[in-house]
Structures are given as structure tokens and as C-alpha cells.
Amino acid sequence: MERNLMKGNEALAEAAIRAGCKCFFGYPITPQTELAAYMAKRMHKAGGVFLQAESEIAAINMVLGAASTGVRAMTSSSSPGISLKSEGVSYIAGSDLPAVIINVERGGPGLGGIQPSQADYWQATKALGHGDFQLLVYAPASVQEMVDYVVKAFDRADKYRMPAMILADGLLGQMMEPVTFPEINPEAYDKSGWAANGHKMKREHHIINSLYLKPDELENSILERYKKYDIIKETETEAELYLTEDCDILVCAFGATARVVKSAVNDARAQGIKAGLFRPKTLWPFPVKEINEAAKNAKKLLSVEMSMGQMIDDIKLAINCSKPVEFFGRTGGVIPSPAEVLGEIKRMGGAL
Amino acid sequence: MAVVFERPKSLIDVPTHYCPGCTHGIVHRILCEVIDEMGIEGDTIGVCPVGCSVMAYDYFNCDMIEAAHGRAPAVATGVKRTNPDKFVFTYQGDGDLAAIGTAETVHVATRGENIVVIFINNTIYGMTGGQMAPTTLPGQVTQTTPFGRSPELAGYPVKVCEMLSQLTGTAYAERVAVDSVPHIKAAKKAIRKAFENQKAGKGFSIVEVLSTCPTNWGLAPLDAIKRLQDEMIPYYPLGVYKDVEEGVFPKTEGGNE
């Protein structure tokens, strides 16, 4: 199979096109710019639509419009831009529309910085807009995984009629790695029962809508959506467990940070400390079963994040606070080093 | 017996939620007459705004999409770019189109998106109970301008057709009113022209319809019509503000280049 050296942002774009994405609407922001630039070059050759919108808000609503007609649509941005898109994401979720949103995170809050960050974990998994809703959140840790999860995000978005996010960061977006594009035959989901693409006088009119003025109707629509979420929580979790079988210290990390942690875990093992790595690949749904499996013999857990500590909440909830969970993080665009993480592991190991 | 007057087929036969004397019903009707006469109901996708016509999806029999406040032009862009062979329209009020959605409005026009925008200008926010709109006239009393709109405090009304006619991407901009039979006929003609423009690929067309809001103006329906005639039309002159022979950005299949 063909193997290419590609920048993360460009690989995301190419994967989307190969996954059958027919339109991209975006607005420039560092550090995801190459994604839109790649789309601008490639999309029309692939028979699709590239359009630079006047704002993040317009871009996500263009996605809503295209998705309403049953077309595979996506947008991408970075942290401040995702905040602007949150209104549209809420409407997409409330209208049961499939769409893919990519966040190549940078430091915040506010304008923050342009270096890698994971400080949008809460936003992505808890509150990407108003109201009761979730979106699927994938956390790739390599350029290859970004390709694979873009393909999966489009599929699952269609399957469940809901938004799906790739939560990457500036490190993954900007780095180059060898990547292989799998043979992709996107499953064609039947959207004829709901898509608003012109009824041709052959069916009742379709309405794409998130407004329910009667409370019981709104409640019922949300209950239906949550039944779907329950199925997703059962079937869609994914995680990597590395050297967890006998580990005393279970280090938890996602995305690019997990690669730093893996080095630190290997270094710890070389020094006789039984460390292991738990890496959630889906952040929502959080891999509850998998982390309990990984943590079954651990004495302590450590969450390492490029933030002030956000995933740590889900870790504590997932293990029901049954073991101590400590935190180490760098934030503001600073990437933790393997030596720093090893230092934390040794500190915790020494106290065992 | 010959039927000489009937409900347009694309206008669903249900009671609407509009207040007595509101002119939304007239505009809905003439829009649906145009859709019927052109035989395009099955190929039309409408986009509703947030505002009084938020539930217009229950009245128009074509496929409908509800947009967030101000975002209808962006939603319509997403629809049209991916479905260039379909007719796409938005139906928006003044707060939606000329306040919260100003950026979307200006850019959908400047891109020359091949869609139709029906713009209801009644100089007030109806749905939320009568607050100042971007089109509220100087001196007009609303819930949020209790002493009358003061330009010193709240600026001046936005003249949408005048503004959008300056943009190269706008193919057609006309202001009409629904206060009298001749004006209603002219309004329907303008809507027809906007849809014909879309059919011909001319680009962005907007029809601004001066309308009434008896409830929030605190006027009886007939007095509301009189206010439209006496106060609104002088401030917002009726007429064609832009009408190009050829669209500048006819969109090709797929929407690019």
C-alpha cells in the first residue's frame, strides 16, 4: 500500500476527501490552516465544494445546511474558532444531523497562543454548546490515527446522525509522519427518510429542526437521543492499554501527550518501576470498562495532560474514585517532556 | 363551477400562529403562489429564521430547514452549493437579517450565492415582544426604546436594499410592500423575478417586503397598514435598487470556479 510522508493537517484533509466528504467550509486559524489550504487545492478536483466562509459561525452553519440535504460535510478550526462554532454544533446535534468537526487545539483561554494544547477537553466532552447533547470525540495520537479516525468519524456521524469531532492539537496537526491511506469504501447510509433535498412531489416534506415549543415534545426528543447515546457508550469506546497488566502506576494520557508518556513509561520500566499507559482513543464516550481493566492492579493513577487537568475528572468518575488519581500537566502551549513525566512516576513510585 | 380562487398547493392547510392583521400570511401566500406557478415545490428547499416566522416550516410544503438566529444565509449557502440544481430561499425578519445576521447577509450577497432572500421588514422584533429592530424608525416607540428610538443613543435604521445594491455580487434587490392590492401584486411579481433569477443562475436576489406588526406596534390592523403607508414607505422607498442583466458569478456544478 502506498506510504506517504504527510503533515497532520493535510492528512486530515486527504482522509476526509477519501471518506466521501463532499464539502468543506472553514475560516483561517492557526494551527489548522494547512487543512483548509489542502481542501482548497484538492476538493474541487474531487468533485466537491470548498468555501472559505466569512466567519467560523457561518462555516458551521454552511455545514448544517449541506448536512441537512444528506451530504457529507465538515469544518475544521482551532480552539477560539471552535468556541464560535459551538452555537452551530448545538443546532446540528439538536437537529440530529451528521457532521464532522476537527479541532486542532491551541492554548487558551481567549486568544491564548498558537502552540499545542489539550485544554478544550471539557469543551469537547462536556459542553460544546448549550443544551443536553454529546458529540463523538476521537483523540488520535499520530498522523496515521488522524487519517483512520476521520474515516471513522464520518461513518459514525452518519450511522448515529450526530456530530463527531476529531480532537487533535497543534503538535499532531503540524508534524509530519509516514501515513498509509486505507482502501476506503464509505458505507452509504440511507438518508432518504429525513434529508431535506427536495421531495420531488413524491413524499411528505422533510423538516430539519431543533425547535420544540412544547416541553414534553422537547423532552421526548432528548430522551430518544440519549437512548442512542447509551448504545454508543456500550459499543463505541476505544482505548490503548500498554503494559497495564502488572502496573503499579497507571499513567493516563490522550493524543500527542500519550506518546510522551509512553516514552516515560518505557524509561520507568527500564528503571524497575512498574508503570503502564492507558490511552483513551474516544474521549466521549469515555472508555470506562477499559480504564477499569487497565487499573485493576494499579495502586495509583496519574493523569498527564496539556492543560491544568480536565480528563482527570472523567478518570476519577470512571474508577469511582476507588484509587488515588494524581495530575501532572503543562499548559499554555508547553509540551511536557518524557523526563518530567518520568520524574512524576518516580516520585509516585517512591512512595509506594 | 370553475374555481377562481384557492389556496396555493405549496401552502399547507393549517391555521398559522400569526397574530390577527399580521402580513406574514400575505407574504406566505404570494411566495407559495410563485412556487406553484413555477412548479418547483418538489425542487425547493426553504430556510426559516428565528423570529415570528420561525415555524414557517409547518406552513410551506417544500422541504424546510430551521436555522439559528441570523444564520439562514449561511445554511442556505451550504444547501445551494451542494445542491446547485435546487431552488433555495430564506425567509427572514429584520432582526435576523440586519442585526445578528448582518455578516451572513452581506457575504451571501457579495458571493453572489444563487439563492432568493425574502426579507420581512416590519421595523420591530415581533417574536420576543416588540423590541427595537435595526430597521426601527427614528422616534419609534418599542419595548427597548420606550421614549422613541434616539439616533444619538441607538443609531440609525439600516436600509438593506440600498446597502446590498452596492455589492457587485447582488443581482437583484427590490423593496415592495403588502399594504394594498397593487402593492401585493407588485410584491408577487418581484418574488417571481427573484426565483426566475435563480433559475437563470443570475445570483443573489433579495426582495424586501415592508410589513406590519399590529400587535407590537399597538395598532389595529387597518391603522397598522396606514402607518406602513405614511411612515415606512417614505423612509424606505419602494422600487428596484439593483437589477443586472447577467449574473456576475454564475455557479457551475459543484459550486467551484
In chain A, whose CA is at the least distance from the CA of B9?
A201
Q: How high is the pLDDT of residue B254? A: 44
**CATH H superfamily, domain B23-243:** Thiamin diphosphate (ThDP)-binding fold, Pyr/PP domains (3.40.50.970)
Q: Which residues contact A207 (CB under 8 A, 6 or more apart)?
A: A196, B57, B58, B63, B64, B65, B66
Contact B256 A66 (CB under 8 A): no
pLDDT digits (tens, 9 = 90+) for A290-310: 999 999 999 999 999 999 999
Domain limits, chain B: 23-243
In single-letter form, the type of residue at position A322 comes to S
Q: How high is the pLDDT of residue A190? A: 98
Distance in angstroms (rounded) separating the CA atoms of residues A155 and A189: 9
Q: How high is the pLDDT of residue A17? A: 97
Q: How high is the pLDDT of residue A186? A: 87
Q: Which of A23, A192, A205, A221 to mutate to test the interface with B (most CBs of B within 10 A)?
A: A205
Q: How high is the pLDDT of residue A352? A: 66
Chain A positions in Cβ-Cβ contact with residue B52 (cut-off 8 Å): none
Residue A333's φ and ψ, nearest 5 degrees, are: 105, 0
* Calculated CA dihedral for residues A214, A124, A99, A164, nearest 10 degrees: -110
Chain B contacts to A (CB-CB under 8 A)? 41-45, 47, 54-55, 57-58, 60-68, 71, 73-83, 86, 103-104, 106-107, 254-257
CATH number of A3-188+199-235: 3.40.50.970
The low-confidence residues of chain A, meaning pLDDT below 70, are 350-352
Q: How high is the pLDDT of residue B249? A: 63
Q: How far is CA A199 from CA A74, A96, B38, in A?
A: 24, 19, 15
Chain B positions in Cβ-Cβ contact with residue A73 (cut-off 8 Å): 78, 82
Q: How high is the pLDDT of residue B251? A: 52
Q: How high is the pLDDT of residue B255? A: 42
A339 class by beta-carbon count within 10 Å (0-12 exposed, 13-18 middle, 19+ buried): exposed
Residue among A65, A102, A113, A85 at smallest CA distance from B47: A65
Chain B positions in Cβ-Cβ contact with residue A59 (cut-off 8 Å): 74
In chain B, whose CA is at the least distance from the CA of A196?
B63
Contact B42 A43 (CB under 8 A): no
A71 touches chain B (CB under 8 A): yes
Q: Which of A48, A95, A199 sits opposite B42 (nearest CB)?
A: A199
In chain B, whose CA is at the least distance from the CA of A54?
B107
Read off the pTM.
Answer: 0.96
* Residues of each domain in chain A carrying CATH 3.40.50.970: 3-188+199-235
* CA gyration radius, chain B: 17
**Which A residues, 6 through 65, put their C-beta within 8 Å of a C-beta on chain B?**
22-23, 25, 43-44, 47-51, 53-55, 57-59, 61-65
* ipTM entry: 0.96
CA B63 to chain CA centroid, Å, is 18
Using the CB atoms, write b or e for A79-98: b if 16+ within 10 Å: bbbbbbbbbbbbbbbbbbbb
Q: How high is the pLDDT of residue B62? A: 98
Q: Which fold has domain A239-350?
A: Rossmann fold (3.40.50)
The low-confidence residues of chain B, meaning pLDDT below 50, are 253-257
For chain B, the residue count is 257
pLDDT digits (tens, 9 = 90+) for A134-143: 999 999 999 9
* Residues of each domain in chain A carrying CATH 3.40.50.920: 239-350
Give the three-class secondary structure for A49.
Answer: strand
